[in-house]
Structure formats: structure tokens, C-alpha cells
Amino acid sequence: MTFKTAGDRQNPAVMLIHGMISSGADCEPFGRCLADDYYVIMPTLDGHGDDGTDLLPLDGEVEKLVGYLKENGIRSLAMVQGSSMGAEIALAVAARLEEENIPLTCGFFDGGPFFHFNPVFRAFMHRKFRSLVKVFDTDDHEAAFNGLMNNPFLRFVAKDKAAQYEPLIRSVTRKRRHFSEKTVKNLVDICYKCDLPTFSPDAQKRMVFFFSDEEPARKSRKRLLRAYPSAEYRDIHGYAHCGFQTAQPEQYAEMLRLAIQKR
């Protein structure tokens, strides 16, 4: 796991956690917009960078993220934000912070697929993702870009809005990347074997679950509403899964800033 930061370390800290097959660099377009007011921490999860690591199970990734805060003397967070798979990791980070009495002003969870599917479905998705990540294992960046843009799973998630992902996909395919079998297994488990942690009503009021009204991950909202009735739920129209942050990073950053200030 590696970390990029932006902004003055004396400012309140925010942590932005990217989604699967992405990296911390892909949070920079909106993260940099927050850096005038916040110390912005953008980790690249294990198995997603070039540091030779494999993605760990959820608890292992959370341990490293919270450990980084402690090691660097960061005693509170203004926000932990996560995108897609990163939203599930961010939720687990929020739970760990509460357990350890580390203050968190706001948790913002964008497009998280907060499902707990059976082993048969997870095995099916494992095959899908194992096929998908092969796209990255080439030095032909244009072929990787076209392969991902035309991938059936991305087309399913994006529906008719795949063009919103072009900047992100250009970023994630700009160099050869290898995703190990262990990484693929753990990202499937994190995405589709989500145990929702318990939060007090007061902690729930500091949580925002954000979805495009057309994305498949939004179907997990019913499960979230049962677990966290006091949380805030927001939808946006006209964007694909996590597409608002990619297409409109400045507006997205302002939305995050207002979510912190509201609390």
C-alpha cells in the first residue's frame, strides 16, 4: 500500500479510497480541489499499484489504512470517502475509527455494492473479474483502453454512459498492470461478501450513501436502509456508477466539502 497526499498537514484530514482496478492517483482530480482546506490522503490499495503487493482481505486493508493515520499522528478525520469497492472499505474504516475513539466528522460512500451474495454468485464474479483484469497485462495501452471500454461488465455497469469513464480508463490503462489471483479473490469478497458493521444512531447521522439512480449497486440501498435508518441517502441522475466524480471533479469536491460542513 502506498500513499499520496495533498494540502497542508495542519488542516483537517480527509482520506479518499479508490475503487477496484483503480489507484490513489484516480482520486486526484477531485482530491486536489479539496487541498486548499484539507490535508488530503489518497492511498493506493494493496494489489493495485506497482509495489508488488496483493490485495488483502478487508480487515487487512483497514488495518493498514488506520495504521497509517496513527503512525502519522493524525488523530481525527474530517471525512473518509470511498468509491465502489472503496466505499465498502471506507465503511469498515469508519467502524474501526469508532471502535478506537478516533473522531470522524463524515463518512461518504459513493456507489458501494453493499451486497452479501452466496458463494455460487461470488464464484461467477471471480471468473468475470479474472477475465477483466487480463486487459491490463499488456504494453499496448490503446488495446487495454479499448478492451476495458468494451468489456461487457463495464457496459453492464455503465449502461449507455460508458463515455463518462474515458478519463478514468485512460488513467488506469496508461501502463501495464498485473492483478494477482489473490488480489482478484479478495476484491470479489470485499465487493460481494459485505457484512455491514454496527453503528450508533449518532454515528449513522454522520454517514452519506450516494448513488446514481440508474446504477446496479443502488439495489443494495434497501439493505443499507434497514441497517442504518438514521444515515443520509442521496441520488444523482444522469451519471453512471461513480460517474459524477469522474465527469465533474470540481463539483464533486464541492459536494464533499458541503457534506463535511453540514455536520
pLDDT tens for 176-208 read: 888 999 999 999 999 999 999 999 999 999 999
- Reply yes or no on whether the pLDDT at 254 is more than 90: yes
Q: What is the mean pLDDT of the chain?
A: 92
In whole angstroms, what is the distance from residue 245 CA to residue 57 CA?
Answer: 26
- Reply yes or no on whether the pLDDT at 77 is more than 80: yes
- Reply yes or no on whether the pLDDT at 175 is more than 90: no
Question: Which pLDDT belongs to residue 168?
Answer: 79
In whole angstroms, what is the distance from residue 27 CA to residue 25 CA?
Answer: 5
From start to end of 45-168, where are the E strands? 77-83, 104-110
Beta sheet of 207-212, edge-to-edge order: 2-6, 39-44, 13-17, 77-83, 104-110, 207-212, 232-236
Question: Which pLDDT belongs to residue 34?
Answer: 97
Dihedral in degrees, nearest 10, Cα atoms 89, 91, 93, 99: -150
Instruction: Place 169 in a pLDDT band, splitting at 50, 70 and 90.
Output: confident
Range scoring the smallest mean pLDDT among 47-61, 165-179, 231-245 = 165-179
77 phi/psi in degrees, rounded to 5: -125, 135
Q: Which has the higher per-residue pLDDT, 168 or 68?
A: 68
- Reply yes or no on whether the pLDDT at 227 is more than 80: yes
- Reply yes or no on whether the pLDDT at 154 is more than 80: no
- Reply yes or no on whether the pLDDT at 38 is more than 80: yes
Burial 21-36 (b: 16+ CB within 10 A, else e): bbbbbbbbbbbbbbbe
Encode pLDDT of 59-74 as tens digits: 999 999 999 999 999 9
- Reply yes or no on whether the pLDDT at 230 is more than 90: yes
Question: What residues contact residue 163 under an 8 Å CB cut-off, 6+ apart?
Answer: none
Does the pTM exceed 0.75? yes
Please give the average per-residue pLDDT across 135-147, as a whole number: 85
**Which of 140, 71, 80, 142 has the alpha carbon at shortest distance from 112?**
80
Give the bridge partners for 234, in sequence order: 210
- Reply yes or no on whether the pLDDT at 108 is more than 90: yes
- Reply yes or no on whether the pLDDT at 165 is more than 80: no
Environment class of 189 (CB within 10 Å of its CB; exposed 0-12, middle 13-18, buried 19+): middle
Question: Which pLDDT belongs to residue 101?
Answer: 92
In whole angstroms, what is the distance from residue 84 CA to residue 36 CA?
Answer: 26
Q: Which amino acid is at 124?
A: F
DSSP 193: B
Angle at 169 between CA 250 and CA 217, to 5 degrees: 75
And the C-alpha cell for 94?
A: 469508519
Place of cell 471468473: 127
- Reply yes or no on whether the pLDDT at 156 is more than 80: no
Question: Which pLDDT belongs to residue 152?
Answer: 80
- Reply yes or no on whether the pLDDT at 79 is more than 90: yes
Angle at 190 between CA 184 and CA 193, to 5 degrees: 115
